[in-house]
Amino acid sequence: AVELEKPLMTGEDFSYICERVPSTFVWYGAGGKDCAPLHSARFCADESAIGIMTNVFCGFILNYLK
């Protein structure tokens, strides 16, 4: 776990899904160093995150199906 110096005030309704089905929520920072924030037309994702998160989600799936 990482403690943020400046907490973010975000909202998420994902907990409603979690009440019904086994779930996990991952917040993975994939923005480049000099990028605009997420949901901006100028946002540029770090494409190395695709492979990393593919492995993470495959691990979740394999663990769930044990």
Q: Which pLDDT value is given to residue 1? A: 64
Q: Which pLDDT value is given to residue 46? A: 81
Q: Which pLDDT value is given to residue 54? A: 94
Low-confidence residues of the chain, pLDDT below 50? Answer: none
DSSP string, the chain: ----SS-------HHHHHTTS---------B-TTPPPTTSTT--B-THHHHHHHHHHHHHHHHHT-
**Is residue 35 within 8 Å of residue 43, measured between CB atoms?**
yes
Candidates 35, 18, 38, 36; CA nearest to 27 is 38
Q: Which pLDDT value is given to residue 59? A: 93
